[in-house]
Structure formats: C-alpha cells, structure tokens
Amino acid sequence: MGTPMENADRPVLIYATFPTLEEAKRVGSTLVSQRLAACVNVFPGMISIYQWKGAQAEDNEVAMIIKTRAGLADAVMTETKKQHPHEVPALLVLPTEGGSDDYCAWIMSETKDGGV
C-alpha cells in the first residue's frame, strides 16, 4: 500500500448511479474532458430497490465510479448534479487508504491541480 498523501491530493472514489448507460457515459465523458476525473468506470445492468417518496421502487440503473482527487470532490458532485436527470442523484465520496504509488500519481496527473 502506498504512503498517505496530503488530504486534497489523495485519490477518492465517487460512487454515482444513472438511469441509463447513455447518461452515465455523457456525464463521465464530461468529467474526464474537464479533468475533474482521471477515469470513470461505468457498470450497466444494475437493479436498484429503494424507498422514494413513501413507496418502494425498483429500477434498472447504471453505476459509476469516478476516480478523482479529494480537492475536486465538490466540483465533481456539482457538475454531476448539474447534468443528472434525478431530483436527488446518488453521490457518495469514498475515501481511499492508499494504493499503488504509480496509479495514485496517475490520478493526480490527469486531474486539475488545486481543486480549480
């Protein structure tokens, strides 16, 4: 496991879900092209069962894991919310405990520095 990094410069994963593959790919492409994310992984074919507005619902959804730096997490969530069709999109920031030094350095090199 790699050495701990400064808080803003450590990799984080942001978990998100989307109603369609096309929407997930569109948002993921925007995040990468704006250098808010080094990479996004899109997982189609997920079934979500949840409570919403007093009723149980079940939907086919697409999961996404967004690989970015901690200092960009708020900007990633803002951009994702702006483009997302859901009233309350699923967005969770998952901290990391380290990892391959080379891979963590790659995430840093492919994302904007300093959160701007």
pLDDT tens-digit readout, 9-61: 899 999 999 999 999 999 999 999 999 999 999 999 999 999 999 999 999 99
Task: Identify the residue with better confidence: 3 or 23.
Answer: 23
Domain span holding position 34: 7-115
Q: Confirm whether 34 is domain-assigned.
A: yes
1: in domain = no
> What is the number of structural domains in the chain?
1
| Domain-located, residue 2 | no
**Domain of residue 13, CATH code:** 3.30.70.120
Tell me the C-alpha distance between 39 and 111, whole Å: 9
Whether residue 77 lies inside any domain: the answer is: yes
Opening angle at CA 80, ends 78 and 82, nearest 5: 70
Q: What pLDDT does 98 receive?
A: 81
